[in-house]
Amino acid sequence: MCSILHHVEICVREEKRLISLLIRGFGFTIIGQRLTPLALKWVLKHGSAIFVITKRQKDCKLQDKSTDDLHVNPHHEKECVHSNGDTTDPEHWTVFCCQDQTSHAIDSVFNAALEVKDVDEVTRRVKERGGHVLREPTNINDSHGQVRYSIVTSCLGNVVHTLIDKKNYSGEFLPGFRILGTNNCESSLVNSKSENGCHTKEFVSNPCDIRSYLEESTRNGEVLEETATQVGGPVFTHVDHIACVCEVGKSKELMAWYEYCFGMKRFMTNREESEEEGLVLGEEIGMRLKAMEYWRCAEVGLAVPSATLEDSELKMVIAEPLSGFENSQINTFLNAHKGPGIQHIALHTPSMAPTVKYVSQQGVVFRKAPPTYYQKGVKLEEITATGHEVELDLFQELGILLDTEDDIFSDMKDGQGKQRYLMQVFTTPIFQEDTFFMEVIQRCGARGFGVGNISALARSIILYQQQQQQNKLRSPSTT
């Protein structure tokens, strides 16, 4: 299974807590690692979803490449210049969430790496629309073939995109990463490799860390296999969508940028949305929602080497605060994140209730909708119509939301005449700041995003924030 979303990258001050959460809570497996003078990177995978966890090694600016400025390990290699004019160095994959600062400021999901048809052309388009090129188009090789890539900034806060062409590459991840297995964690230091004909050295972090992560991955993998057997399929399959937050009035400009640069197009989320205004949620929510998806007919843009129709889609949801709602959860993100960025990532599961129950038992905390959500006149009729009435109490216990899909997608008939619907659940914030969270979603014929669930999520966030404030007031003050 492939996806045009190659991987997402998360930059953190300390990586151990997040890695443990992804392994134990969401069933990810460590598959690779890269350690350079500036960054330690871990690669985790579940289904086709790949997360790269990046930790800044030193307080220094990425663009300062001289050894004197960096005070790096003496094994730091010089740049290699190739016959085609491309260059690589130990930091060719290195990029941070705080590019203009000398040290890590706030944990952030900041890099959505995309497979594209033509790295050079997409890079050119990004430049034309005001984006900056952090890495010019470059070829990098190893024994599995060649990858051409670049790294560019977007017009959305700290979000960058690594643009990747892998049609000539058969490796597990990307050149330059040490692929890990249960039996390859004995060595503690140098792995020599050949990248583009240049001899480089890659340093491996503490072998005890590697061994503990791999052992945890193995143990958790066995539990996941049992769970998959019980539910009759995988726990998670792929990333369903990425949700971003922009500033007031910026969504139209943002969507035009992604349409021109990447060949994406507007995607109507549900029956209550308008083309011009999007989905507007007033009252105490104060949010405008719009969405985009990959346009398969685009001549220049994203690439899908091989995938099913459903799994190859890339949806991007854009949330914009409404004027006059300074205390909305969207503005809370903007303030805590110190600007626009990626708010949440949704993992698709083919078995909602068993998956959420398992993940909850592993310590992942989910938001709960108000109790009225599951009552008559709100969602009870929809839950009953889709055959989940017997799971009503379980849904409420786990926080699972359900929304049916109506007329806007009526041209997409379910072949068996069944009701199209989706189920969703959202975690509490993953980082210390009230910013990024995860979503678990199951699509049962539905392609959009239910307005009822969006409202329920917003209200659950408001309740969560109120509870956190009450807890602070109850806590004894310290002097």
How large is the average pLDDT for residues 129-156? 95
The pLDDT of residue 471 is 77
Confidence of residue 335 (pLDDT cuts 50, 70, 90): very high
Rg (CA), the chain: 23
CB 110 within 8 A of CB 10: yes
How far CA 177 is from CA of 33, 138, 200, in Å, comes to 6, 17, 12
Structure tokens that stand for 304 in this block: 């899908």
Q: How confident is the model at residue 76 (pLDDT cuts 50, 70, 90)?
A: very low
Q: What's the chain's average pLDDT?
A: 78
Band of residue 256 on the pLDDT scale cut at 50, 70, 90: very high
Between the alpha carbon of residue 418 and those of residues 131, 404, 407, 408, the distances in Å are 45, 11, 14, 16
131 vs 11, 164, 202, 210, CA distance in Å?
A: 21, 17, 31, 37
Burial code of 291-305, b = ≥16 C-beta within 10 A, e = fewer?
bbbbbeeeeebbbbe
Residue 43 near residue 52, CB atoms below 8 Å: yes
Does the pTM exceed 0.85?
A: no
pLDDT over 90 percentage in the chain:
48
Q: Which of 100, 101, 97, 135 is nearest to 119 (CA)?
A: 135
| Tokens describing residue 368 | 């709960």
Candidate from 177-186, 189-198, 365-374 with smallest mean pLDDT: 189-198
Q: Tell me how far apart the alpha carbons of residues 349 and 351 are, in angstroms, rounded to a whole number.
A: 5
Listed residue (24, 19, 28) closest to 358, CA to CA: 24
CA atoms lying within 13 Å on the CB side of residue 349: 25
Query: What are the tens digits of pLDDT across the range 459-475?
Result: 666 666 677 777 777 77
**Burial zone of 73 (CB within 10 Å; 0-12 exposed, 13-18 middle, 19+ buried):** middle
pLDDT at 417 over 90: no
Give the number of C-alpha atoms closer than 13 A to the C-alpha of residue 461, restricted to the C-beta side.
Answer: 26
CB atoms within 10 A of CB 253: 11
The structure tokens listed for 101 are 């600062």
Phi–psi pair at 176, nearest 5 degrees: 95, -10
**Helix residue ranges, H only, 21-167:** 67-70, 119-128
Q: What backbone torsions phi and psi does residue 153 show, to the nearest 5 degrees?
A: -85, 155
What is the reported pLDDT for 312? 46
Angle value at C-alpha 445, between 2 and 225, nearest 5 degrees: 55
User: Which of the listed ranges 194-198, 226-230, 296-300, 472-476 does the model predict with the highest average pLDDT?
Assistant: 472-476
User: pLDDT higher for 476 or 71?
Assistant: 476
What is the band of 105 on the pLDDT scale with cuts at 50, 70, 90?
confident
Report whether pLDDT(358) > 70.
Answer: yes
Alpha-carbon distance 59 to 61, whole Å?
A: 7
Rounded to whole angstroms, how far apart are CA atoms 145 and 473?
Answer: 58
Q: How far apart are CA 215 and CA 163, in angstroms?
A: 33
Report whether pLDDT(39) > 80: yes
Task: Report the distance separating Cα 93 and Cα 78, nearest Å.
Answer: 15
| pLDDT at residue 227 tops 80 | no
Residue 210 — very low, low, confident or very high, per pLDDT cuts 50/70/90? low
Residue 208 in this model has a pLDDT that exceeds 60: no
DSSP per-residue letters across 167-184: TTB-SSS-TT-EE--TT-
Query: Residue 175: which residues within 8 A CB-CB, separation 6 or more?
Result: 140, 141, 142, 144, 147, 169, 195
Say which residue the tokens 């930059």 belong to.
11
For residue 459, the SS3 value is helix
How many angstroms separate the Cα of 37 from the Cα of each of 34, 56, 99, 150, 196?
10, 9, 16, 21, 20
Instruction: State mean pLDDT over 91-100.
Output: 88
Per-residue confidence band for 86, with pLDDT thresholds at 50, 70 and 90 = very low
The string of pLDDT tens digits covering residues 296-305 is 544 444 444 4
Q: Residue 313 has what pLDDT?
A: 67
243 DSSP β-pair partners: 317, 344
Question: What is the rounded distance in angstroms from the CA atom of residue 72 to the CA atom of residue 217?
Answer: 32
Average pLDDT over residues 177-204: 46
